Amino acid sequence: MNKDQEHNFLELLEEHQNIVHKVCRLYTNDYDAHNDLFQEITIQLWKAYPKFRGDAKFSTWMYRIGLNTAITLYRKSKRRVTTQDFDAVQFKIKAEDYDDTEEEQLKLLYSAVKQLNDIEKALVLLYLEDKNYREISETMGISEVNARVKMNRVKTKLRTILNP
Amino acid sequence: MDELDLLKKDWNKPENQNFPKLSYNDLYTMHLKKSSSTVKWIFIISLLEFIFWTIISFGIKDNKSMKALKGTDAETVLNVLTVLGYIILFYFFYLFYKNYKKISTTDSTKKLMESILKTRQTVKQYVVFNLAFIVISTVAVLAIEFNQDPNFGERAHEAAASGHIFMFYSKIILITAGILTITITILLGFYALIYGILLKRLDRNYKELKKMDL
């Protein structure tokens, strides 16, 4: 990568870094693991950037690399913080904003999502990010129909986890 | 409301989007750190294994039984096999390195799937090659050694004279087979442990991706 490319890449990465954080948020359980995965995705993005031809949006490309890294390349950290969950620390749901039922429901939902497998998590992330099925299919490299079917299956699975 | 829509509402709340913001320089230094991906570890372990085998082969070079082979055809065969073995091992490093390079810069899930498949294949071929190499070199060296060693010839004659030639060869074959089985089991255990752990997650996710593509 030449200096110009490097500069462009870093500016884009700085601007869109939340995407990487969001992938980490869904795939890791604690602060250290979050940082590890963030670093791994950054390294992979850096390596892959020279091949980025701009035929997709930079953000879409970032989701792809980020998710592929989380799914395939990332060695899950052995360090596990058992006392405090990352979500509880970083994304504490403010009690005053919710009634108890909704707060409880959200906690259960987050924990249910964490129980999904890596591929299902990728679908959920893109759904939460308000991506339409065309964008989901592009990012995951599957057909739009397939993305829709899989998403419905994930919803059913979540329901089963929530109401065993 | 759909469960996921409730989650989406929460996910997109501004207070839940407050991630630590890294500066341009932070991001720059971050990429200089080392990657710790699975495929990279497969490459590193294969390299360590290569070093281990090299040390072992130098270690046994001067021992008694190796000295006994000096000047015999078995030594020539062993040397040829060693050189051939190293050439093939180098080829495998190249493949592991290529996989590592390729897999880490892939941006399409489909291509990623193919790369995962390729990595699994390479590991499998590598294990099969190593095991086959041990069996072939042991059998070849022993066969030549038995054929040319005067001590062995003498004992075979004695056994033939006393009518125990069948027992004599059976014992040798059984002992060799036993030692090979133990060696292979230990190696298989080692590979299953090291590469099995590394490939487990790749394998699981590959199956998931494959299911999705059907």
Can you state the angle between helices B24-32 and A31-48, rounded to 10 degrees?
Answer: 80
Number of compact structural domains in chain B: 1
pTM: 0.63
List of chain B residues whose C-beta atoms are within 8 Å of the C-beta of residue A36: 36
Neighbours of B137 (CB within 10 A): 17
Distance of CA A127 to the CA centre of its chain: 10
- Name the pLDDT band for A19 (thresholds 50, 70, 90): very high
> From B119, which residue of chain A is nearest by alpha-carbon distance?
A72
Query: Is residue B158 in some structural domain?
Result: yes
Q: What's the token pair of residue B61?
A: 């070079």
Query: Is residue B9 in some structural domain?
Result: no
CB A158 to CB B4 under 8 A?
yes
The whole-angstrom separation of Cα B169 and Cα A46 is 62
pLDDT in tens, B192-207: 887 777 777 667 777 7
- d(CA A54, nearest CA chain B) in Å: 12
pLDDT of residue A124: 92
CB A106 to CB B10 under 8 A?
yes
Q: Angle A120-A126-A131 (CA atoms, 0-180°, nearest 5)? A: 140
Q: What's the token pair of residue B186?
A: 């230990």
Residues 6 or more apart in contact with residue A97 via CB below 8 angstroms: none
pLDDT in tens, B123-170: 778 888 888 888 888 888 778 777 777 777 788 888 888 878 788 888
The whole-angstrom separation of Cα B80 and Cα A150 is 55
- Tell me the average pLDDT across A86-94: 44
pLDDT in tens, B71-125: 667 777 778 888 888 888 888 888 888 877 776 555 566 666 667 667 777 877 8
Query: Is residue B26 in some structural domain?
Result: no
Long-range Cβ contact pairs of B144-153 (< 8 A, separation 24 or more): B144/B72, B144/B73, B144/B74, B144/B77, B145/B69, B145/B72, B145/B74, B146/B172, B148/B72, B148/B73, B148/B74, B149/B72
pLDDT in tens, B165-194: 788 888 888 988 898 899 888 888 887 887
Query: Is residue B2 in some structural domain?
Result: no
- Name the pLDDT band for A23 (thresholds 50, 70, 90): very high
State yes or no: pLDDT of A143 exceeds 60: yes
Q: Which domain holds residue B120?
A: 36-213
- d(CA B73, nearest CA chain A) in Å: 48
Domains of chain A as residue ranges with CATH: 1-92 (1.10.1740.10), 93-164 (1.10.10.10)
Query: Is residue B11 in some structural domain?
Result: no
Phi, psi of B140 (to 5 degrees): -65, -50
Query: Is residue B24 in some structural domain?
Result: no
List of chain B residues whose C-beta atoms are within 8 Å of the C-beta of residue A73: 35, 37-40, 103-104
- Tell me the average pLDDT across B34-45: 71
pLDDT of residue A89: 41
Query: Is residue B17 in some structural domain?
Result: no
State yes or no: pLDDT of A95 exceeds 60: no
- Tell me the average pLDDT across A71-92: 51
Query: Is residue B118 in some structural domain?
Result: yes
Give me the interface pTM, i.e. the ipTM: 0.74
Dihedral sign of CA atoms A83, A89, A94, A100 in order: negative
